[in-house]
Structure 1
Amino acid sequence: MASLPVSPAQALDGLLAGNRRFVDGAPQHPNQDAARRAELAPAQQPFAVLLGCSDSRLAAEIIFDQGLGDLFVVRTAGHVLGPEVLGSIEYGTSVLDCRLVVVLGHDSCGAVAAARTAVEEGLTATGYVRDVVERVTPSVLAARAAGLTADSDIIDTHIRHTVNLLLDRSRVLADQVATGHTGIVGLAYQLADGHARLVTSHGLPTPVTQDTVASSVGVHPS
């Protein structure tokens, strides 16, 4: 078993290094064999919680080149938040001791597009899809208020909005970030090239770039 990251920044380094391998077409597919499966049977110890959109093109373990037991993944359309999502994330950081929470958005997001259509054309969805759209709408309105119209800017605004909601609604997570136990970041994934771009971060002592590698902590060395 690879050694686990010991800080939020190192956890993020490991994810970005894995994403770089994925983009380069050289994934290592770590921790995906029978030995790893057997090792994890008694208990799990993931190093990061990932709240991502449910989009089928956004499989976290694949795009970050991770394996069984590495990520504690929560996915909803448009990465919208509800009590069960907050509880799952708090479980990941408090019970499983994950040191990093990632909010993962992406371009061509259907939930964001539907919210934008609702704001601009007054067309709303039906059933529970409407609830998803309504939870994304504040991000679209905030982007419009700031004069932002490009899809990428609206996606980034929604990612930042979700990160801020996590900190506002979860006292547990906010306290963990304040003490340096946990970091939280927002990443924007590009469907065409596979690149995950850093949008916002809280609780990381120094800026983290896409060039940072994780070999020093042995997450999955490149």
Structure 2
Amino acid sequence: MNKQYRQTNVSRRNLLKLGAGAVGAGLVTAGLGANLAAPEKASAVDKKDITPDAALKELLDGNERFVKAKKRYPNQSIKRLQEVAKGQKPFASILGCADSRVPSEIVFDQGLGDLFVCRVAGNIAPPEEIGSLEFGSLVLGAKVIMVLGHERCGAVDATIKGASVPGQIGSLLEAIKPGVERAKGQPGDPLENACKANILVQVEKLQSSPVLAELIKEGKLKIVGGYYDLDTGKVSLVS
């Protein structure tokens, strides 16, 4: 009798464990299902005739979703892939650092065909990058260009330290020097100040482009600076 009672209790316990496991598996499956379905969602903003201000808001809203772990994964479906294969019309351009920790489509929660991205160490604007961004705005129709620098940028740090570098690396540091010089004597962290000053120098270089300046004058383009926090993922505007 006791033996039978113990066996019954054991069976009930196993049943409860099995039930809890099933519920847990169901929740995990539901979560995975939501994530798998998420890429099919389109952006909440119709980007066809977006204004420069609305384009900037879309970038910052996407970054906020990224920071809060509420990403929508817009425009990442096979349908979108096939759609943009016929042509692209990005709503924004990013001149970002080549740093592997700052991938634009991820940190702004965007998808295929949304961003026209140029990446180079130190997020500098040499003629080739300016030409690319002129094409992105004049021909493809991007309404905002963000120069996206980031916290603890190695290229800026090397420039501050006057590092001796081989090959063509020195050309990057030369392009960053004006920002480093501008930041000298400012209160606060020297590297952060230099990173932000470098962003503004590159923004000014883009604004001096006759092609981009005309688009700005016509109200078709906005050029801004953004600073990415490596620790939080947050992008803040630099002015």
Structure with the larger helix share: 2
Indicate whether 1:163 and 2:203 are aligned.
Answer: yes
Indicate whether 1:87 and 2:126 are aligned.
Answer: no
User: 1:217 maps to which residue?
Assistant: none
Indicate whether 1:192 and 2:226 are aligned.
Answer: no
- Structure 1, residues 2-35: CA drift from partner, whole Å, max 9, x if none? 5215211100100111100100011111111100
Separation (CA, whole Å) in 2 of partners of 1:82 and 1:136:
11
Larger Rg: 2
* Cα drift, residue 151 of structure 1: 2.2
TM-score under structure 2 normalisation?
0.78
Q: 1:175 aligns with which of 214, 217, 232?
A: 214
Q: 2:79 aligns with which of 15, 22, 35?
A: 35
Write out aligned runs for 1:66-145 (5 A): 66-118=110-162, 123-144=163-184
* Cα drift, residue 148 of structure 1: 6.3
* Cα drift, residue 83 of structure 1: 1.6
Separation (CA, whole Å) in 2 of partners of 1:72 and 1:145:
35
Supply the RMSD in Å over aligned alpha carbons. Answer: 1.4
* Cα drift, residue 150 of structure 1: 2.8
Separation (CA, whole Å) in 1 of partners of 2:66 and 2:187:
34
Separation (CA, whole Å) in 1 of partners of 2:227 and 2:235:
5
TM-score under structure 1 normalisation?
0.84
Q: Secondary structure at the match of 1:69?
A: coil
Letter in 2 for 1:195: K
Letter in 2 for 1:179: E
Separation (CA, whole Å) in 2 of partners of 1:126 and 1:147:
32
- Counting aligned pairs with the same residue, the percent is 41
Return 5+ residue gaps in structure 1 as ranges.
Answer: 201-222
Letter in 1 for 2:52: P
Higher relative contact order (CA 8 A, sep 6+): 1
